[in-house]
Structure 1
């Protein structure tokens, strides 16, 4: 069933241990660092129940409504439905959020594709993934993804340093496994559960088997501690930082202090082949909504830059139009990769419809690697006033408001307050602490750049180019594409 907003908020009041700065948070739903982004997720639940959005944000199966975002994709329409639903959500909330569940549930579908690998260890583990995917659909949980460990000294295996630098199994019990370690996880403090999986690695060494673990961690379970970075919400004013105050997705060091994982929540452990398979296929679905969000960031850059150019008439200059065209090419390049990935979608081992893999992964590289340059182009188009404009309070103060009204008003259409709002939006999008944080987040949230490129290499079919050149160069038939 589709969850209510209040049911979501109530689920967060489970006694979870959340720390931010020097404070233990009593209620994340009311704390100023978390409330804005929790309200965004709650709004998504509300939208799914409203007549204007319900048909797009939900689907019916056996007379029961479920979230469009949680639906395992089996046909092209399921992907286009997700895209339409996300467009409605982002237009309603007026911004972009990454970690709200739809972009992480795909990692569970990737695990479904490796069901045979899981069954090698224990058939019950394969059954666990079936049950959890269905539970996410039926209960509409906020599901996130626990990925990166602190790692410590990466030149050393974990056993030769503090073993807790990577999450590992410390013992088995009749009730389940006990795990220790820590994971960096965005949104963990206000989510229901996380899919915890091994960090990036070769996973070819059996000595690492204690660290080859994949499971579900409930965010309010005993021993789970959420140590959060300082939030952007609550710093400065909403008028000056409209994005940071509404859309800051708080990142967490999730400490696992002897946490019991019931057997029904274990997908694999002590199995390096399973760990290797999970890491290799992890983003075959989730990369799509992740890259789609960057397209919306491109839309915001285009909109902010175009409005700034138009307000002063600079959009008529050819040099300005060329820079705007660069932003458009970036945006449409992302769109082209995503559109073709669905148009050429491939059937997965589990029978799901996954985006065309090399096209999707190439699109992720294109979107992530070009984002810094595109942000700089947008800064140039917005101009230096995004870093020197006084605060909103100065536009209201008796001693300064008349002067600011004089120098920031252009004509009857562009008065000082609208210019201030546009400049504040552009600053928060491109030039603030929040903007810098978002840029770094995009570069590493799914994996570092080298891993993005490895995914492209592994997904691309080299046989076509190899065969074409073999024939064009009249190479011997005994030369094959095998390596």
Structure 2
């Protein structure tokens, strides 16, 4: 049952308590800092109904249509379909958005693979995860992910400071569990629900903990408060900052003030083994959609840089070509990892088809660890004018405008307005507050860099390198010991 964009907008007009920029929001769908992204998400819903995109964005089963992005992956074709759908969205909206549901739904599939672990503590929990996955497929909500707590003093245990610094269970009732604390969640203020799970990765010897809790939270629940960071949209004219004004995915501190989570929404509780499993496998599916966004971001960097050097006649300079080739290597490196991850996909413990984990996780490290280098190369190629060009108001001023028109017109093909547009785009992509925010987001959105490398360590096949070196060096069999 596919939603329309307007049905989505209606679903978040539910009386939720949202604050941004020091004000209480009355209608989130109309607030200037939320509306651009809400409109983008609504457009994604409508694309599943439009004749031109319906068959890319949705599939038919038993006479009903469902979202491609939310479909459980069983075949390589499922992954190719997901990749096409994401590319179609980014092409349609003309930019990159990450937290729009297809990426975050995959995090629950990881828990689907851990049903045997959930059964150890309570068989109801494995039933709950299956039910929620199928509920998401059937009802098409805007589903996001809740990962990061405020944390507090990380040298101390949560119990040795304000316990609310990490989300935790404070009470059990017949109806469900009561939770307190807070989570930072991108897009939460305008989403329908979240898969909420712990941040802690090292539980020590604890087998039970009130902090080891995972659940699906309905954002229309009472006792939730949404305190968002100030958005970039509306701070400056859209013609000067075209990306900031359209693609800012606002992060929100969601405060759980004794919120009831019904038992049917609890996915695990007091079970540190389940919590450890989900932290170790959380991104085995969702990393694909995340890395795919980096591929489109690489295209934007290349496009902005290449148009700039063509404008100024520098495209054939060897030093310029070298830098463009470096950007191309970065882009194709990401592309190769995504393509190979599908080509060499592997069956998951739960019977799904997951992208090859070693290729996917090394691709994520490439995409995130090299992004700041690629942005700096793009800045070099765009030149210093991206940081000194006046805003559009000066170009339109009756006195200043003619001078700017004179100095920003390059030739008969490149008039000043096109030059200004490209420089404004490059400035917003590379130099603006939004650009810096986006860089940090890509670095931490799926856990910090050390966790990216830890995922590589867990998923890389070390045995093949050991086997060949063992043979090549002529080592004895006893060096394998018990680890062979």
**What TM-score results when the alignment is normalised by the length of structure 1?**
0.99
Task: Report the alpha carbon displacement of residue 207 of structure 1 after superposing the two structures with TM.
Answer: 7.1
User: In structure 2, the residue corresponding to 1:478 is in which secondary structure?
Assistant: helix
The aligned runs of 1:238-277 (5 Å cut-off) are 238-277=238-277
Comparing 214-223 and 34-43, the one that deviates more: 214-223
Deviations 1:314-356 (A, max 9, x none): 0011110110000000000000111101100000011111000
* Match in the other structure for 1:141: 141
* Match in the other structure for 1:79: 79
CA contact (8 A) 1:68 1:81 kept: yes
The aligned runs of 1:357-376 (5 Å cut-off) are 357-376=357-376
CA contact (8 A) 1:204 1:272 kept: no
* Match in the other structure for 2:157: 157
Q: CA RMSD in A?
A: 0.9
Gaps of 5+ in 2: none
Task: Report the alpha carbon displacement of residue 276 of structure 1 after superposing the two structures with TM.
Answer: 0.5
Comparing 470-479 and 339-348, the one that deviates more: 470-479
Q: Does 1:4 align with 2:20?
A: no
Q: Does 1:67 align with 2:67?
A: yes
* Match in the other structure for 2:460: 460
User: In structure 2, the residue corresponding to 1:210 is in which secondary structure?
Assistant: coil
C-alpha distance 187-482 of structure 1, shift in aligned 2 (>3 A): farther
The aligned runs of 1:83-482 (5 Å cut-off) are 83-206=83-206, 209-480=209-480
Task: Report the alpha carbon displacement of residue 204 of structure 1 after superposing the two structures with TM.
Answer: 3.3
Deviations 1:69-98 (A, max 9, x none): 110110000111111111111111010001
CA contact (8 A) 2:207 2:271 kept: no
C-alpha distance 250-208 of structure 1, shift in aligned 2 (>3 A): farther
Separation in structure 2 between the aligned mates of residue 21 and residue 405 of structure 1, nearest angstrom: 37
Separation in structure 2 between the aligned mates of residue 480 and residue 129 of structure 1, nearest angstrom: 40
Task: Report the alpha carbon displacement of residue 364 of structure 1 after superposing the two structures with TM.
Answer: 0.4
Separation in structure 1 between the aligned mates of residue 432 and residue 273 of structure 2, nearest angstrom: 43
User: In structure 2, the residue corresponding to 1:177 is in which secondary structure?
Assistant: strand
Separation in structure 2 between the aligned mates of residue 349 and residue 60 of structure 1, nearest angstrom: 27
CA contact (8 A) 1:48 1:58 kept: yes
Deviations 1:87-120 (A, max 9, x none): 1111110100010000100001001000111111
Separation in structure 2 between the aligned mates of residue 481 and residue 75 of structure 1, nearest angstrom: 38
CA contact (8 A) 1:215 1:266 kept: yes
User: In structure 2, the residue corresponding to 1:69 is in which secondary structure?
Assistant: coil
C-alpha distance 243-363 of structure 1, shift in aligned 2 (>3 A): same
Separation in structure 2 between the aligned mates of residue 339 and residue 85 of structure 1, nearest angstrom: 15
Separation in structure 2 between the aligned mates of residue 202 and residue 106 of structure 1, nearest angstrom: 23
Task: Report the alpha carbon displacement of residue 478 of structure 1 after superposing the two structures with TM.
Answer: 1.7
CA contact (8 A) 1:466 1:481 kept: no
* Match in the other structure for 2:31: 31
Separation in structure 2 between the aligned mates of residue 391 and residue 347 of structure 1, nearest angstrom: 53
User: In structure 2, the residue corresponding to 1:80 is in which secondary structure?
Assistant: helix
User: In structure 2, the residue corresponding to 1:364 is in which secondary structure?
Assistant: helix
C-alpha distance 249-482 of structure 1, shift in aligned 2 (>3 A): farther
Q: Which stretches of structure 1, 4 residues or longer, exceed 2 Å deviation after superposition?
A: none
CA contact (8 A) 1:204 1:273 kept: no
* Match in the other structure for 2:18: 18
How many residue pairs get matched? Answer: 483
CA contact (8 A) 1:204 1:276 kept: no
Separation in structure 1 between the aligned mates of residue 230 and residue 22 of structure 2, nearest angstrom: 10
Comparing 460-469 and 30-39, the one that deviates more: 460-469
User: In structure 2, the residue corresponding to 1:234 is in which secondary structure?
Assistant: coil
C-alpha distance 365-481 of structure 1, shift in aligned 2 (>3 A): farther
Separation in structure 1 between the aligned mates of residue 468 and residue 98 of structure 2, nearest angstrom: 41
Task: Report the alpha carbon displacement of residue 378 of structure 1 after superposing the two structures with TM.
Answer: 0.2
**What TM-score results when the alignment is normalised by the length of structure 2?**
0.99
Separation in structure 2 between the aligned mates of residue 207 and residue 454 of structure 1, nearest angstrom: 23
CA contact (8 A) 2:207 2:272 kept: no
Comparing 220-229 and 320-329, the one that deviates more: 220-229
CA contact (8 A) 2:314 2:320 kept: yes
CA contact (8 A) 1:170 1:180 kept: yes
Task: Report the alpha carbon displacement of residue 200 of structure 1 after superposing the two structures with TM.
Answer: 3.8
